[in-house]
Amino acid sequence: MRHPIKNLLTVLLLTAVCCSCHTAKKAEGDKEISLFNGKNLDGWVNYGREKWYVEGGELICESGPYKEYGYLGTEQRFKDFDLSVEFKQEANGNSGVFFRSTIEGVKITGWQAEVAPPGQHTGGIYESYGRGWLIQPNAELENVLKENEWNTMRVRCVADEVTTWLNGIRMITLKDEKIGQAEGQIALQIHDGGGIKVRWRNIRVTPLGAKQ
């Protein structure tokens, strides 16, 4: 006579092993990359004359005397990815996280996941030198941003679909054919006009396979 409890334990054990193997395989295929080493700007390209520097393990962007646009772009280019970054706005905070972008001088083509002062649509998607605002978060989500505190922005871009989260709250989901055709750098922005200072840390990206 078969022991039902023993048989059940065997099934559960085999299931756990199979699940463990599947998880390991997925993690091996999609490896997270740290884009900022906490020490210097290795792996990044500075565009423009504004200030980008490292202080206390944090990446800081700050307006200089020229009060122009400035960008810090990755040397690598990305198509499909899942990006996470923490930011803290010390002054003004009008910035952004660009993706699938190309930069010449201080002119950028691509899309921006907005980072802005309260009430100015952080987490929305803006197309610079193009169509402008493509989507903004619903009004009730404007209070998700924590002023003068650390916030976590997540941007997931797969094919023609972009989703952003702010502090774990989904802000927008957008499907756009033009975005789906592009590939390019990830970049951080200093807006023009002066008076801006933003701290960044824990900038991590997971390139995603074409089937995801």
pLDDT at 24: 31
Contact 95, 196 (CB under 8 A): yes
Residue 112 amino acid letter: Q
Distance between CA 106 and CA 153 in Å, rounded? Answer: 24
Do 15 and 37 belong together in one domain? no
Do 26 and 42 belong together in one domain? no
pLDDT-derived band of residue 29, with 50, 70 and 90 as boundaries? low
Name which of 103, 91, 5, 3 is nearest 46 in CA terms. 103
Higher pLDDT, 169 or 7: 169
Task: Quote the number of domains for the chain.
Answer: 2
The DSSP bridge pattern shows strands 81-91 and 197-207 to be antiparallel
pLDDT-derived band of residue 22, with 50, 70 and 90 as boundaries? very low
Helix, strand or coil for residue 17? helix
The mean pLDDT of 130-149, rounded to a whole number, is 97
- List the structure tokens of 66: 């020229």
Identify the domain containing residue 111 by its residue range: 32-207
pLDDT-derived band of residue 2, with 50, 70 and 90 as boundaries? very low
Residue 13 amino acid letter: L
CATH code, domain with 41: 2.60.120.560
Name which of 48, 40, 88, 45 is nearest 64 in CA terms. 48
Do 79 and 22 belong together in one domain? no
Do 12 and 70 belong together in one domain? no
Do 111 and 151 belong together in one domain? yes
Give the HSE-up count for residue 111: Cα atoms under 13 Å, Cβ half-sphere.
30
pTM: 0.84
Tell me how crowded residue 20 is: count the other CB atoms within 10 A of its CB.
10
Condensed to tens digits (0 to 9), the pLDDT of residues 60-69 reads 999 999 999 9
Residue 159 amino acid letter: A
pLDDT at 209: 79
